[in-house]
Amino acid sequence: LEAQTCRLADAPAQTKCGQPLHFCSNIDFKEEIPSIRSVGARGVGLFRSENLFIDNTKPPQEEDQTAYYKEMAEELFPDPLVIRLFDIGGDKLIYSTIREPNPNLGWRGIRILIDVPEILDSQLLAILKANDKGNIQILLPMISSIEEIMQIQSSLKRHVDNLNTIGLSCCEPDIGAMIEIPAAVLIIDEITRMVDFISIGTNDLTQYTLAVDRNNEIVQDLFDKFHPAIIRQLHTIITTANKNGCRVSLCGDMGSDPLALPFLVGCGLRVFSVVSADIPLLKTLGRHLDVKESEALARECLSFDSSEKIKAHLKEFQMRHV
């Protein structure tokens, strides 16, 4: 497999039956961009922009953000740059000095962006000013309701109108929602009708579905992305997005797991955003997959009532097909 992986690094990503797959990179800093091309990544599917916070506490200036995003977008063009709006709070950056009893269930992501317009407005304006080439897309973290999406969509529209009024025409970026809270999965039909794309965050989706803190070592054995509750949600999300003509990708760590790949392809997923170093192996594994066989595998996995049975079945499939 290793030899094949090296040989196929430059080959197009596709299944054995010729279905194209797309692998893009998750990055934290612009300095990572030069290295993503060498592994065959098709752009950046997740830029965790909260890494721009100064000393982990202060939002960056609008002008500094504009310059930073512009440099990234130009370097990546014509491939896309998906900028996830600051996902601060929770287990991540400490924006607020308020001590929260349960930060992962507290003031985090989209909630802070809506409550503190200065932060949201400067990030949206910076993105609009940086999007000369039109390859930037906006991803909203921690979405749990359609109202949250509508608020950001109307803020973005207001900024576009304002810039147009002063003679600065700009390319309006596509807007997508992170699907990482079970509430968003239950209203996925509505969400996928109102956004341009969705990206599945399996790290938080697992945390919030199973009520297992992703950073708490005591319960790490319960943090199980192959739990039937996760497997079934993934199938619902992907099939609903495809039915509604909404682009869907997955940017959680699950996208890098070779065991998960055939199941996800079988559900209808074609776009993966992962740590760059994992792309060559995933491309190689993708070349061993037949879509019809993967679809049958996905159906079988959906019928199992335990993670152990799902994992055993995926391992057996891997043995037969790689």
Q: Binding residues for Mg ion, per CB under 5 A?
A: 180, 201, 204
The least CB distance from residue 51 to ligand PEP, in Å, is 10
How far are the Cα atoms of 56, 79, 129, 132, 257 from residue 169, in angstroms, in the given order?
33, 22, 9, 9, 42
Structure tokens at 204: 């938080």
Residue 48 marked as a ligand binder: yes
Say if residues 93 and 48 touch (Cβ distance below 8 Å): no
Nearest CB to Mg ion, comparing residues 181 and 289: 181
Alpha carbon distance 303, 180 (integer Å): 23
Closest CB to ligand PEP among residues 14, 236: 236
Q: Give the strand pairing for 174-179 and 44-48.
A: unpaired
Shorter beta-carbon distance to ligand PEP: residue 100 or 295: 100
202 binds, among ligand PEP, Mg ion, none (CB under 5 to 8 A by kind): ligand PEP
Q: State how far the Cα of 63 lies from the Cα of 129, in Å rounded to an integer.
A: 9
Burial of residue 290 (CB within 10 Å: 0-12, 13-18, 19+) is middle
Is residue 71 part of an annotated ligand binding site? no
Q: Which does 252 bind (CB under 5 to 8 A by kind): Mg ion, ligand PEP, none?
A: ligand PEP
* Residues at the contact surface with ligand PEP, assessed by CB under 6 A: 48, 87, 180, 201-204, 251-252
Q: Which does 286 bind (CB under 5 to 8 A by kind): Mg ion, ligand PEP, none?
A: none
Q: What Rg do the C-alpha atoms of the chain give, in angstroms? A: 20
Nearest approach in angstroms of CB 34 to ligand PEP is 22
Continuous segment of H or E residues that includes residue 275: none
* Residue 251 annotated as catalytic: yes
51 annotated ligand-binding residue = no
Q: How far is the CB of 87 from ligand PEP (least distance, A)?
A: 6
Question: Looking at beta carbons only, is 40 or 201 nearer to ligand PEP?
Answer: 201
Query: H or E stretch including 194?
Result: helix 188-194
Instruction: Write out 37-60 in H/E/C secondary structure.
Output: HHCCCCCEEEEEHHHHCECCCECC
Q: Which of 24, 251, 267, 301 is an active site residue?
A: 251
Nearer Cβ to Mg ion, position 43 or 201?
201
Ligand-binding site membership of 203 (annotated): yes
**Shortest approach of ligand PEP to residue 269 CB, angstroms?**
14
Q: Which residues are annotated as a binding site for Mg(2+)?
A: 180, 204
Q: Which residues are annotated as a binding site for phosphoenolpyruvate?
A: 48, 84, 203-204, 214
Q: Any idea which residues carry the catalytic annotation?
A: 251
